[in-house]
Amino acid sequence: MVHQLPTGAKDLLPLNVAQKRWIETRIQKVFQSWGYQRIITPTVEHLRSLTAGGAVDPESVIQLQNSSLDILGLRPEFTASIARAYAARLGRDVATCPQRLYYNANVFRRKANNDSEESFQAGVELLGGSGLLADSEILMLLAESCDRVELADWQIILGDARLTGALLELLPEQYRGKVRQSLASLDRIALTEMDLPTDVKAYALELIDLRGKPKDVLSRLSASTWASGLTSEINYLKSLIDLWETVGNSDRLILDLSFMQAFDYYTGIVFEVACNNYVVAQGGRYDRLIAVYHPQGMSYPSIGFCINLENLQQALQSRLPQTLATSSCLVVAKTPDAMQAAFAHASHLRQASPLEAIELELEFRADDAIRDHARSRGILAIVWVNNDGAIVLENIC
């Protein structure tokens, strides 16, 4: 039917909106307190811009018809759009780096079954920031965001695309693709059943088991003979974890060196936040992306994360508002001749208490019916306005 929403599109009713705003307000205050400023990018972009970085499969983009030869698409995420928007600007003045940006809006994806899906994201991008301090800032900002919305039992799963890539390079070339795919999908069974030489399979199974308490994993890695050439990468992770633990979140971090993506978009740390079987956030370092959009191909180290607001809302459901805020009072014109005075008095009340909602009764009903209506909406005060402008306040329960 033409009156139904397209598959994957969403109507958000008032309670859902109130819960979403409860989350967004707290998260945005955290972003702002760290010096991040909001950016708004177009909902529609050129398809080639959305997929240029290599992280977005063109098949996942909802494409739009256009009169020109260019193919347009609805944004499936924000990082590519923000990188495009700032690529040229970053090169004009050294003082523009780093850029701390945040976003909060909807995204659109085509799923594997060809259905479309609309969802909502909030996140940050730190453009032109590199090294230990930048990586730590993003992880700690993400942790503070989780704490600010009172998310319980969350954990950050931390990986390192550079280190894991180096570990994969130790495999014979003909096996790297298969092993990488199994790591990306966390499929230990597939690795076990894969037709590989005994030593290659044993090494691949060691890689997929490099997960646990950060210092335990790094200790195992440092002790292995095959990681002897990766001292700088291992020491970097040690320093990052030491800095993380200074903020008292040591039990929140799991190091997983099998955690990676099937594509080469990320160049450093990668991570996700898991809570009660929900992945509520993910992100990582992407030092090559801006060069794709920069007029001279200049590269700027960057890192960011996105929060999946709907997953976060589900994980937080018991902590979110379960009822809508009610109006503080109902203004009632006793007769048609009192309507002008009723409007004027309602306006006066709104100006006197701008944070409170004041409703106007729209029908001329019996007093008891009006009282029942007010109670049903959780309104505990009625202001009766008479023909002569006289005001009578009645508190009801």
Say if 324 falls within a structural domain.
no
Domain count, the chain: 2
pLDDT at residue 367 in the model: 94
- SS3 for the chain is CCCCCCCCCCCCCHHHHHHHHHHHHHHHHHHHHCCCEECCCCCEEEHHHHHCCCCCCHHHCCEECCCCCCCEEECCCCHHHHHHHHHHHHCCCHHHCCEEEEEEEEEEEECCCCCEEEEEEEEEEEECCCHHHHHHHHHHHHHHHHHHCCCCCCEEEEEEHHHHHHHHHCCCHHHHHHHHHHHHCCCHHHHHHCCCCHHHHHHHHHHHCCEECHHHHHHHHHHCHHHCCCHHHHHHHHHHHHHHHCCCCHHHEEEECCCCCCCCCCCCEEEEEEECCEEEEEEEECCCHHHHHCCCCCCCCEEEEEEEHHHHHHHCHHHCCCCCCCCCEEEEECCHHHHHHHHHHHHHHHHHCCCCCEEECCCCCCHHHHHHHHHHCCCCEEEEECCCCCEEEEECC
Could you tell me the pTM of the whole model? Answer: 0.89
- Let me know if residue 285 belongs to a domain: yes
| Same domain, yes or no: 281 and 313 | yes
What confidence score (pLDDT) does residue 27 get?
Answer: 98
Give the residues of the chain that fall short of pLDDT 70: 1-2, 67-68, 91-95, 262-263
Is residue 78 in some structural domain?
yes
Q: pLDDT tens digits, residue range 377-386? A: 899 999 999 9
In a domain, residue 2? The reply is no
Quick one: 134 and 71 in the same domain?
yes
**Is there a domain that residue 130 lies in?**
yes
Domain of 341 in residue numbering reads as: 329-395
The verdict on residue 139 lying in a domain is yes
Q: Are 210 and 248 found together in one domain? A: yes
Residue-level pLDDT at 95: 61
The pLDDT assigned to 262 comes to 61
Out of 265, 295, 319, pick the residue that ends a domain: 319
> Do 314 and 370 belong to one domain?
no
Do both 249 and 345 map to the same domain?
no
For residue 3, tell me if it sits in a domain.
no
115 and 163: one domain? yes
| Same-domain check for residues 307 and 380 | no
User: What's the CATH code of the domain at 355?
Assistant: 3.40.50.800
Final residue of a structural domain among 274, 300, 319: 319
Q: What is the pLDDT of residue 298?
A: 85
Q: Is residue 385 part of a domain?
A: yes
Judgement on whether residues 314 and 172 belong to the same structural domain of the protein: yes
Q: What CATH code is carried by the domain that includes residue 294?
A: 3.30.930.10
